[in-house]
Amino acid sequence: MKYYLYNSLANNGIKPQTEEGVTLIDAVGMDYAKYLEGLSPEDEVVLVGGDGTLNYFINAVKGVEIKNNIYLLGCGTGNDFLKDIGKEPGEEILINDYLKNLPTVYVNGMEKLFLNNMGFGIDGYCCEVADKIKAVSPGKEINYSGIAIKGLLFHFKPCHAVITVDGEKHEFDHVWIAPTMKGRFYGGGMNMAPDQDRLSDKLSVVVYRSASKLKALIAFPSIFKGEHIQKKNMVSVFTGNEISVSFSRPCAAQIDGETVLNVTEYKAVLPS
């Protein structure tokens, strides 16, 4: 039997058409771990959603041995996971291999797995602003690029950052972004870590810095094509198994698009 799990509360959700041999289930409030344990080994599960759905799922089944085939029917807004594996929304993708050996982030007393990235800096600021817009105007399309540009010009102030990778410390001034990446993409298609392989045993932390707002703004569009890493005077990339990032003042952060407020530091660790 194939079971489609969808979120009836999602703004951009798809409710698949039922057919013979298919069961459609509203997953709102579901105990995913208990649900999987009750399935027969030959049953298959299709998650209907995007990056947020995947993040919720991996944390809900943390520590559970997954015995069934798990598929993603992508229909989110950003779809950074699908971009990273070279797939398109609307097709069912077997994702079991991508659910293994995921990194854990420790931040503000929380411990969470992430699938794509742990962002810190103006990316977290963009998620914070977007949350406020959604609260006032539910369903409104969010222009994240516009929020980022306004943040670069007027609202977000860069920080001094300390980046520690497998015990080696690096310090930078005027840091705008310092995400740790499991995949290449975030923010709805920004190729932040073009050399990152999500199936490798390493994470990448990308440090984007500039004392000049104008230079930071001019270079910003190059992130969408992954060309920013060529700007060695502005961008540094480090890879490792354990990455810590601390900022000189509290900023918003985001975990696979979920906002975390008032963050001064985080640590991301791959399982050994």
Residues 91-148 have pLDDT tens digits of 999 999 999 999 999 999 999 999 999 999 999 999 999 899 988 988 787 888 788 8
Side chain identity, residue 10: A
Show which of 84, 99, 114 is a domain's final residue: 99
- Pair 62, 128 in one domain: no
- 40: CATH: 3.40.50.10330
- Pair 145, 228 in one domain: yes
Contacts of residue 226, Cβ cutoff 8 Å, sequence gap at least 6: 184, 191, 192, 194
- Pair 153, 195 in one domain: yes
Give the whole-angstrom CA distance, residue 231 versus residue 133: 33
- Pair 89, 193 in one domain: no
SS3 (DSSP) at 182: coil
Distances in Å between the Cα of 53 and the Cα atoms of 12, 73, 233, 242 are 11, 11, 37, 25
**Per-residue pLDDT at 12 exceeds 70:** no
Per-residue pLDDT band at 82 (split at 50, 70, 90) = very high
- Pair 130, 241 in one domain: yes
State the DSSP H helix or E strand holding residue 80, giving kind and residue range, or none if neither: helix 80-84
* pLDDT recorded at residue 13: 47
- Pair 62, 133 in one domain: no
- Pair 213, 246 in one domain: yes
- Pair 120, 254 in one domain: yes
Show which of 49, 78, 99 is a domain's final residue: 99
- Pair 63, 195 in one domain: no
Q: Mean pLDDT across the stretch 8-28?
A: 66
**Which is it for the CA torsion 111, 239, 70, 53, positive or negative?**
positive
Residue appearing with tokens 């985080």: 266
Radius of gyration of the chain (CA): 19
- Pair 74, 143 in one domain: no
Which structural domain range is residue 175 located in?
Answer: 104-269
- 115: CATH: 2.60.200.40
Q: Phi then psi for 59, rounded to 5 degrees?
A: -80, -30
The whole-chain average pLDDT of the chain stands at 91
Q: Is 29 left (phi over 0), alpha (psi -120 to 50) or beta?
A: left
- Pair 84, 12 in one domain: yes
- Pair 88, 161 in one domain: no
Number of domains in the chain: 2
